[in-house]
């Protein structure tokens, strides 16, 4: 009869203490990477399987966090969330957590789902994607002392809860400065309606970059709901009204629409999108790229800090984007 593999067996095989093995299983983020990898190799080699029910009773945690899958839109910008969720799942797994995915079509249904999930599963926390002014989801969780972090800033008050975000203003400012350096001055912007925290942030970066060099942005801005058709319509309007030589867009969907509108224009108009989606890469569209893998990893870092009561963990993280240049810029 084969000997039962225990934590002590794994500890002997990895040449570490039993406490170190326990830390790798229950709080891997506090273990040095070299040691953690050695213990994980021993666990895999010996076929050790921790008793999840016993671990939950001992630690009071399920090691389960929940995150939302957004409804499918145009199949372009949805890939941004897909990449974030892949990163979140991989990073959470390395930290000893599992991700439970759910879907909801609006805020009211999402909050109802929170109630259902908390009543059905012993969830440790939520990771919310996307934030807005007066966000009812974060308010609902905070009122009930449910741990959570957001990928997106709390636009009403930056210290309201832990968050990770990408500096959208820095992204559009960088795109605009690139176009300015190439000699453009009539640089337009196609964005979302005012009142969207993310949309306002991205528009501000474009506007401020033009102000830096004394260019008046008046008349160069158009706003609409997200989508390829909307981007094409507003780009045609801009061409007729102000004849821009370049345009920065708040999303790749809007930028792809702009590309359709400028076909055959002479001289050609430069276009830069936002999010660096696979579609943008496939058609050669220049775009602002978000560090989604790092954003997911930092969300997990903040979440473990919240759950462990580690007050040295930062309460928010603002990451910097980069510019993926292609022939359309």
188 & 236 share domain: yes
Domain membership flag for residue 2: no
Query: Do 129 and 37 reside in the same domain of the chain?
Result: no
Quote the distance between the C-alpha of residue 283 and its chain's center. Answer: 23
Residues with Cβ within 8 Å of 67's Cβ and at least 6 positions away in sequence, in order, are: 85, 88, 99, 100, 101, 102, 126, 127, 128, 129
Residues 112 and 68 in one domain: yes
Q: Residue 264 maps to which CATH number?
A: 3.40.50.2300
Q: Is residue 111 part of a domain?
A: yes
Residue 3 has what pLDDT? Answer: 59
Q: Identify whether residues 185 and 279 lie together within a single domain.
A: yes
Residue 235 shares a structural domain with residue 217: yes
277 occurs within a structural domain: yes
Q: At what angle do helices 228-241 and 252-261 cross, to 10 degrees?
A: 50
Q: What share of the chain is helix, strand, coil (3-state, %, to 5)?
A: 50, 15, 35
Query: Which residue segment(s) compose the domain that 89 sits in?
Result: 64-165+291-320
Same domain? 145 vs 73:
yes
CATH classification at residue 11: 1.10.260.40
Please give the tally of structural domains in the chain.
3
The 10s digit of each residue's pLDDT in 119-130 is: 887 788 999 998
Indicate if 120 and 138 belong to the same structural domain.
yes
Same domain, 153 and 295: yes
Q: Is residue 329 part of a domain?
A: no
* 250 and 300, same domain (yes or no): no
Residue 79 pLDDT: 78
Residue 52: per-residue pLDDT: 47
pLDDT tens per residue across all 329 residues of the chain: 445 677 778 888 899 987 788 778 766 777 888 888 898 888 888 877 655 444 544 445 568 899 998 766 666 767 788 899 999 999 998 888 899 999 998 899 999 999 888 888 778 899 999 899 999 999 999 999 999 999 999 999 999 999 999 999 999 999 999 999 999 999 999 999 999 899 999 999 999 999 999 999 999 999 999 999 999 999 999 999 999 999 999 999 999 999 999 988 888 899 999 999 999 999 999 999 999 999 999 999 999 888 877 666 678 999 999 999 987 77
**Is 28 inside a domain boundary?**
yes
State whether 75 and 44 are in the same domain: no
What does the angle CA 227 – CA 299 – CA 209 come to, to the nearest 5 degrees? Answer: 50
Same domain, 218 and 297: no
Does residue 327 sit within a domain?
no
Contact criterion met (CB below 8 Å) for 218 and 247: no
On whether both 274 and 298 belong to a single domain, the answer is no
Q: Is residue 316 part of a domain?
A: yes
Question: What pTM did the predictor assign?
Answer: 0.79
């Amino acid at each position: 009869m084969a000997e039962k593999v225990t934590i002590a067996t794994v500890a002997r095989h990895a040449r570490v203490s039993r406490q170190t093995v326990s830390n790798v299983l229950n709080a891997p983020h506090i273990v040095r990477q070299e040691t953690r990898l050695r213990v994980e190799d021993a666990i895999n080699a010996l076929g050790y399987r921790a008793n999840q029910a016993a671990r939950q009773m001992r630690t009071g945690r399920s090691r389960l966090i929940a995150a939302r899958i957004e409804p499918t839109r145009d199949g372009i910008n949805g890939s941004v969330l897909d990449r974030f969720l892949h990163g979140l799942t991989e990073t959470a797994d390395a930290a000893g957590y599992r991700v439970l995915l759910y879907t909801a079509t609006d805020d009211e249904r999402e909050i109802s789902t929170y109630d259902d999930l908390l009543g059905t599963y012993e969830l440790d926390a939520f990771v919310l994607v996307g934030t807005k002014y007066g966000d009812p989801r974060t308010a609902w969780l905070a009122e009930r002392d449910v741990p959570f972090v957001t990928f997106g800033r709390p636009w009403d008050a930056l210290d309201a809860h832990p968050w990770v975000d990408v500096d959208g203003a820095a992204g559009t400012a960088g795109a605009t400065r690139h176009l300015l350096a190439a000699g453009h001055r009539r640089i337009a912007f196609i964005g979302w309606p005012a009142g969207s925290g993310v949309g306002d942030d991205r528009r501000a970066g474009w506007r401020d970059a033009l102000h830096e060099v004394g260019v008046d942005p008046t008349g160069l801005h158009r706003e609409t709901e997200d989508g390829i058709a909307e981007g094409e319509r507003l780009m045609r309007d801009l061409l007729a009204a102000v004849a821009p030589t370049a345009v920065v867009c708040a999303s790749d969907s809007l930028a792809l629409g702009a590309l359709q509108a400028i076909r055959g224009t002479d001289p050609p108009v430069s276009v830069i999108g936002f999010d660096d989606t696979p579609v943008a890469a496939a058609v050669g569209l220049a775009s602002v790229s978000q560090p989604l893998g790092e954003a997911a990893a930092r969300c997990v870092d903040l979440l473990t800090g919240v759950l462990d009561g580690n007050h040295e963990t930062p309460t928010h993280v603002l990451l910097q984007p980069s510019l993926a240049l292609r022939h359309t810029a």
